[in-house]
Structure 1
Amino acid sequence: MATFNQITTSEQLEALIQESGEKPVLIFKHSTRCPISSRAYLEAKRYLEDSPNPDAAYALIHVVEDRPVSLEAADRLGVEHASPQAILLKNGHAVWNTSHSRITSSALREALS
């Protein structure tokens, strides 16, 4: 079963960006203090439990606890910060992102198909 790997450092973020040159990388930015984010996280976990893309990598950033990495991701990827937020990387660039109630298992399945 696919799982999210939590990233907490700039070095881990850089490694993910580099890894996206080889395979898609989905970053989920999650606030542990927000009920909307909790619902989106459940949707993302449902996607991982049902039928995730086996060729993709999955990462998690806690936006409060690891704020510097969260803000760096927004800056490096050219995506306005939101929480919750899903960002799909390919070849070092954000190619898709969505946030809040638009994060659903079906939206993730479509983006990663």
Structure 2
Amino acid sequence: MGIFKNMFGSSEPKEEKVLPWQPLTEVSQLSDIENRSQTKTQVIFKHSTTCGISRMAMKQFVSAYDLDSNIDLYYLDLLSYRNVSNETGYKFQVIHQSPQLLVIKNGTAVAHASHGEIAEVDLGKYE
């Protein structure tokens, strides 16, 4: 039976990692993020809920995320909050991509990545 368990996985549900997401749903939050970034790194994950590539990037990000990180983490559903997504690009001078990760420090985007490059961003170096 062990060989089948190894081949097909366990029937026991895996515990999902839950990140401390803060929903980004209002344009006014962007000023708060900019202000908070003066003392603590802020990270925005722009996610398209209907895109398989975005879903894959999100899973990789969640899997690699260090729960002990000292950052504020925002989740932006860009399909539901397109105006917030657009304003995010204007405010932080980053061309829109989907999915996209923005690292905000001292009021500016110090790093950003999209698609598979999101997994390569080392958030620890921005704490």
Find the partner of 1:40 among 54, 57, 72. 57
Q: 1:47 deviation in Å?
A: 2.8
State which of 58, 62, 67 in structure 1 corresponds to 2:77.
Answer: 62
**Higher RCO (C-alpha 8 Å, min separation 6):** 1
* Runs of 4+ in structure 1 over 3 Å off: none
Q: Distance in 2 between matches of 1:34 and 1:94?
A: 24
2 CA distance for matches of 1:47 and 1:112? 12
Deviates more, 1:37-46 or 1:90-99: 37-46
Root-mean-square deviation (Å): 1.5
- For 1:68 and 1:12, the matched residues in 2 are separated by 12
Cα distance in 1 between the residues matched to 2:91 and 2:68 = 25
1:5 and 2:25 aligned: no
Partner of 1:85: 100
- Give the AA of the match of 1:88: V
1:53 and 1:44 mapped to 2: Cα distance? 14
> Aligned in 2, Cα 1:7/1:29: closer, same or farther, shift over 3 Å?
same
- Give the TM-score of the pair, scaled to structure 2: 0.79
Shift of 1:4: 1.4
Q: Percent identity?
A: 30
Q: How far apart are residue 12 of structure 1 and its match? A: 1.4
Per the alignment, residue 12 of structure 2 pairs with: none
C-alpha change, 1:21 and 1:103, in structure 2 (3 Å) is same
The structure with the largest alpha-carbon Rg is: 2
Quote how far apart the aligned CAs of 1:93 are.
0.1
Q: Does 1:94 align with 2:106?
A: no
TM-score scaled by length of structure 1: 0.88
1:28 lines up with 2:45 in the alignment: yes
Distance 2:114 2:44 in 1: 12
Counterpart of 1:74 (choices 83, 89, 101) is: 89
Deviation, 1:102, is 1.2
- Secondary structure of 2:109's partner? strand
